[in-house]
Structure 1
Amino acid sequence: MKQLQLFLAFFRVGMLGYGGGPSSIPLVHKEVVEKYKWMNDDEFADVLALGNTLPGPIATKMAGYIGYRVAGVLGMINAVLATIVPTIILMIVLLTFLSSFKDQPWVVGMTKAVVPVVAVMLATLTWDFFKKSKDSLGWMWAGGVIVVSFLLIELLGVHPGIIIGVLLVAAIVKSDKAPEVKQNVEKGVGM
């Protein structure tokens, strides 16, 4: 049953993820967190952050990891195939069909109309992640990370993967020091 659920979840993502990897992230979230509850929001955010630091398409990386986590190696293969097969089929069929009608106004309008929908999906997911980060970091830190990340990416051209990697290392260092601080407080050291 899990194999079928995995296939259907990622097949839907593959079919509806128009616009590339970033547009499929909210769809993966909907299937994995909300519908099947294979992971919670924090786990999904961790998978997304880790997936963004690795090379390659985000949808297949997430499908592979989530499939493996839910149903082992067979689940990983199942989820990745369910993600890429619709795209392969749609590319062959649609590109063949649309290339003959590419200059028609309805085709041009259709491709332009999808852009705002993808933007809204990404904005909704971004707002959800901001609320989660606000709960764990507070408004100041969450807002600060967003502003600094935006400035580094947009003004200085720093790759987002580098920023995510630095933040992951900072979180690991912070979590390693947290038990020491707690032990010192409990022992009365440093007071």
Structure 2
Amino acid sequence: MNFDARTALIPIDVQCGFDFPPWLARNNPAMETNGLRLLDAWRRAGLPLIHVRHDSVMAGSSLAPGHPGNAHRPGFAPLEGEALVTKSVNAAFIGTDLDLRLRRLGVDTVVLFGISTDMCVSTTARVAANLGYRTVVVGDACACFDLPDADGRVIPADQIQRAHLATLRAEFAQVVDTDEAIAALMTRAA
């Protein structure tokens, strides 16, 4: 694996709103640490970076503009000059200019991480792959939440994470960890 100027990092929905109801218990407490490591390495490498923020249109959503939860988590807000795409659905490509931005940059590979693995990260990865991008998901820089099933039982977030990363790996994306992604950047610099 090698990342070059045609590779864009896309942090997805790393927002404070997931700390508010109705979100249940979250897995992967290392998500923020790993995501910040990726952002730092990416910025130092000078490769394309496009942030994605969910601006919910659902009444009462903790991710709605104007709600404190709409803000990026500490350290994840775009720096001056970094692009931000806002969306109101799961896939960052739907109803946005993300695809156009990537194509104008000459990007052919996208590296995704964020919240939540099974929702917006997975949906964006699937659409990216369908649009022809080489898609990489940094699994240990993603997180998801416990989820009730149709019988009222709760499926633990770790099980949901494993299943969704396995599904992505099977058909839509290469799934790596933060160390592997950073090593791919270091290979570029060598």
Structures share a fold, TM > 0.5?
Answer: no
Q: Which has the higher contact order (CA 8 A, sep 6+)?
A: 2
Between Structure 1 and Structure 2, the one with more strand by share is: 2
Q: TM-score scaled to structure 2, two decimals?
A: 0.21
Q: TM-score scaled to structure 1, two decimals?
A: 0.21
Between Structure 1 and Structure 2, the one with more helix by share is: 1
